[in-house]
Each structure stands twice: as C-alpha cells, then as structure tokens.
C-alpha cells in the first residue's frame, strides 16, 4: 500500500486522517500536542519539507481526495482577520470577516470552489493558535460599538476537525466576552458535542449548509445527512445558541421545487420557527473551470446538467430569471412559515435583490440586516 492509497469514509461518519505531518518548528506547540493526543493511532511524522508527500499525492488517481487524508500542521503567516472574498463591486455583500484556522476541508463536495482555488491538496491546520487568538482578541478589544461578524468556514468546514482541535472551546468563550461581536461556525456535520458545555452568551451562531437529500447524497461526500444536521441544530438551539441555515448552493434540477420545499418544511419542523437567526440563499455558481473539475472528479454529478452563463465577474451562474425564480420561491416557502424570518442572498446584485424582495439592498443594508439579527 502506498502512503496515500487507502480509502476513507464516505458516509458522514467522523473524519479521521491517515497521516499527520507536522513541521518540526511547530511540533511542540499546544495545538500540535493536542491533535497528536487525540489521534494516538495515526502516524505523527515531523517533517522539514512536504515535497515528497505532495508529489506522491500528485501522482495518485485523485490528488484532491488523496490530499484530504493527510493533516499538515503548520504555522499561519500573515494577517489573521480578513474580509470575506465575496466582497466586490458587483454584488451586495454582508460585510463578513473570516479567520482561517485551517485551509482545505475533510469533506468533498462536488461543487466546492476550493478544488479550483487551492494550490496545496493537504489539509493545512494552523497550530500557532495562541498567536492567532491573541491577534483576534486585540481586534475585538478595539471594536467599541462597531459590530463585527466573523466566520471560520471559508476555507474549511468550521466543525469537521473540532473533535481533534477543540478550537470551539477557545473561540466560543472568546466571542462571549464581546457584546458587539458575533462568531459563526458553519458546518455540514453533526460535530457539536463539545459545544454543549461552553459559555456562549448568544455571541456564536452555529449554522448549517442545507440542501435536499438528493443533493446531499449525490454531491456532498463525507457530509452528514439532512436529518442529522437538523437534529444537531435543534440540540444547539436547545443549548441557547442562535442557529443559522445556508441554502447554498441551490441547484436547479427536475423536481427541485418539491424537494427544496420539503427541505424548508423539515427545517422548521425539526428546529422550530423563531429559533433561526438567519437564512441565506445562494444559487450554484463557480469559476469557469469548475464544471470541468466536477465532470472529471464526480462523473455522476448532476451539476453540469444546468445551464450556466458567465457573469460580469467571470463566474458561471444560472441565467438571472432562473435565479430570481428560485429565490422567490424559497423566500415564499420560508416566509409562509415565519413571515419575519431574516433571509438574505449571497453574492447577488442589488437588481436581483429588488426582483426578489422589492428593494435594492446595498452592502451596507445587508450588513445592517444581519447585525440586527444577531445583536442582543
């Protein structure tokens, strides 16, 4: 067997790496020690360079899948808190900030933008956590009355590695100390056990990306089933956390209407209206090369069947009237259960906002909407 040749889980059970590589310089940091202790049976290999591993992964049949079997513990360089990459001139953004404690994801969604974005297939975990948290706290201390919403789920799933890093145990109490700060932990897993005992004071929103059971089974490799996610959301809500949901990507396929409608209903049935801070909607989109990647890595995927057109930002999207129709229907199904529910669009223009909601939301409007949803 080669170093990266064995298979991993495909059913949403907990992720477990096959190898842990650690840069010698960070081997003794507390986070490296913690991960090693929590995965005692996984080979833990100090390295000076990872080149030989990268070339072996690169020679495998699916380098992206093979790279996900290896955790690479390394140091984060550069600024910790960044603005979300969605912020650009053409769309109304939500003024979100991100902190990346890891880069690359144990899950493997067919539509994942990381496939065309990362130049390194291993799962990098940044283990200089104490420095990163100190820098983040410095920013929180200077907030005053400014609201800051921060997520950790831009380049990975926020909770898929939490059973090994226990990072939520540091982040959630940190944000609990700052009344105008809000942390969002976004996931497709049911990895919530460590959240139940944490002091959160409502400053952390636990959120789930949702899709129909058909899309989850066909397009979200390694993720938890819909019902598992919703039951996890219910438990977090019972622990007092605000919860959020992201229907992103909404995928057009024959029968999408009845299946998304049922998914919305199931969300409210299990979690309950009135417990949800926000719901976002985002239609399937991606860079020009994404569909080629999907066809190559996921030959059974239905994503390439939809008609996608390049927009002004060069990204492929569904034709605007189709997106508007999907958003309007989703908003209608959501607001039929809870008329006051905060719903927003991800990476859409003021024109699309107007066609869906009847007003041209600017970036500042969307920011205020979400600030209001999460402030006490």
Interface residue list for ligand SF4 (CB under 6 A): 105, 107-109, 112, 114, 156-157, 188
- Considering beta carbons, is residue 123 or 148 the nearer one to ligand SF4? 123
- Considering beta carbons, is residue 122 or 356 the nearer one to ligand SF4? 122
Considering the complex, what minimum distance in angstroms separates the CB of residue 201 from ligand SF4?
27
The token pair at 248 is 């992103």
Considering the complex, what minimum distance in angstroms separates the CB of residue 223 from ligand SF4?
7
Considering the complex, what minimum distance in angstroms separates the CB of residue 357 from ligand SF4?
26
Q: What is the DSSP pairing of strand 97-99 with strand 81-83?
A: antiparallel
- Considering beta carbons, is residue 100 or 348 the nearer one to ligand SF4? 100
Considering the complex, what minimum distance in angstroms separates the CB of residue 30 from ligand SF4?
26
Considering the complex, what minimum distance in angstroms separates the CB of residue 309 from ligand SF4?
22
Strand-pair partners of 181? 148
The contacts of residue 287 (CB under 8 Å, 6+ apart) are 113, 116, 117, 314, 315, 316
CA within 13 Å, CB half, 313: 16
- Considering beta carbons, is residue 86 or 179 the nearer one to ligand SF4? 86
Q: How many CB atoms lie within 10 A of CB 297?
A: 17
Is there a contact between 28 and 75 (Cβ–Cβ < 8 Å)? no
- Considering beta carbons, is residue 109 or 171 the nearer one to ligand SF4? 109
Q: How many residues does the chain have?
A: 376
Q: Which residue has the tokens 């380098």?
A: 63
Q: How many CB atoms lie within 10 A of CB 214?
A: 16
- Considering beta carbons, is residue 65 or 234 the nearer one to ligand SF4? 65
Is there a contact between 343 and 278 (Cβ–Cβ < 8 Å)? yes
- Considering beta carbons, is residue 188 or 203 the nearer one to ligand SF4? 188
> What does the angle CA 228 – CA 324 – CA 314 come to, to the nearest 5 degrees?
90
Give me the helices (H) in 10-85, please: 30-38, 51-58, 63-67
Considering the complex, what minimum distance in angstroms separates the CB of residue 117 from ligand SF4?
10
Considering the complex, what minimum distance in angstroms separates the CB of residue 276 from ligand SF4?
20
Considering the complex, what minimum distance in angstroms separates the CB of residue 267 from ligand SF4?
18
Q: What is the DSSP pairing of strand 70-74 with strand 19-23?
A: parallel
- Considering beta carbons, is residue 106 or 306 the nearer one to ligand SF4? 106
- Considering beta carbons, is residue 112 or 277 the nearer one to ligand SF4? 112
Q: How many CB atoms lie within 10 A of CB 213?
A: 14
Is there a contact between 186 and 246 (Cβ–Cβ < 8 Å)? yes
Phi, psi of 361 (to 5 degrees): -75, 130
Considering the complex, what minimum distance in angstroms separates the CB of residue 114 from ligand SF4?
5
Considering the complex, what minimum distance in angstroms separates the CB of residue 112 from ligand SF4?
3
- Considering beta carbons, is residue 105 or 127 the nearer one to ligand SF4? 105
User: Is 249 buried (19+), middle (13-18) or exposed (0-12) by CB count in 10 A?
Assistant: buried
The contacts of residue 241 (CB under 8 Å, 6+ apart) are 195, 200, 202, 204, 205, 206
């Amino acid at each position: 067997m080669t170093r990266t040749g064995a298979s991993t889980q495909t059913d949403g059970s907990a992720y477990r790496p096959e190898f842990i590589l650690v840069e010698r310089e960070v081997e003794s940091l507390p986070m490296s020690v913690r991960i090693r202790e929590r995965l005692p049976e996984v080979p833990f290999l100090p390295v000076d360079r990872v080149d030989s591993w990268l070339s072996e992964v690169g020679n495998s049949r699916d380098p992206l899948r093979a790279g996900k079997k290896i955790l690479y513990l390394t140091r984060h360089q550069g600024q910790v808190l960044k603005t979300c990459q969605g912020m650009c001139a053409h769309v109304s953004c939500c003024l979100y900030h991100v902190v990346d404690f890891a880069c690359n994801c144990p899950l493997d969604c067919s539509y994942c933008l990381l496939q065309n974005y990362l130049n390194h297939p291993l799962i990098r975990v940044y283990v200089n956590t104490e420095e990163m948290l100190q820098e983040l706290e410095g920013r929180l201390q200077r907030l005053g009355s400014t609201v800051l919403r921060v997520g950790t789920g831009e380049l990975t799933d926020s909770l898929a590695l939490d059973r090994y890093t226990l990072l939520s145990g540091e982040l959630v109490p940190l944000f609990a100390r700052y009344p105008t700060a809000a942390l969002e932990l976004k996931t497709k897993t049911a990895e919530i056990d460590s959240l139940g005992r944490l002091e959160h004071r409502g400053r952390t929103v636990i959120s789930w990306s949702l899709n129909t059971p058909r899309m989850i089974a066909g397009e979200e490799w390694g993720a938890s089933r819909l019902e598992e996610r919703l039951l996890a959301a219910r438990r977090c809500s019972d622990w007092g956390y605000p919860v959020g949901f992201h229907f992103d990507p909404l995928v057009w396929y024959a029968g999408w209407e009845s299946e998304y409608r049922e998914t919305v209903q199931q969300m409210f049935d299990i979690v309950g209206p009135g417990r949800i801070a926000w719901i976002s909607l985002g239609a399937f989109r991606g860079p020009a090369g994404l569909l080629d990647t999907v066809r190559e890595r996921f030959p059974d995927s239905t994503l390439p069947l939809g008609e996608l057109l390049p927009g002004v930002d060069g990204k492929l999207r569904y034709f605007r009237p189709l997106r508007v129709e999907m958003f309007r229907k989703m908003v209608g199904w959501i607001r039929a259960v809870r008329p006051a529910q905060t719903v927003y669009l991800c990476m859409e223009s003021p024109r699309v906002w107007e066609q869906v909601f009847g007003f041209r939301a600017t970036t500042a409007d969307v920011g205020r909407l979400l600030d209001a949803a999460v402030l006490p």
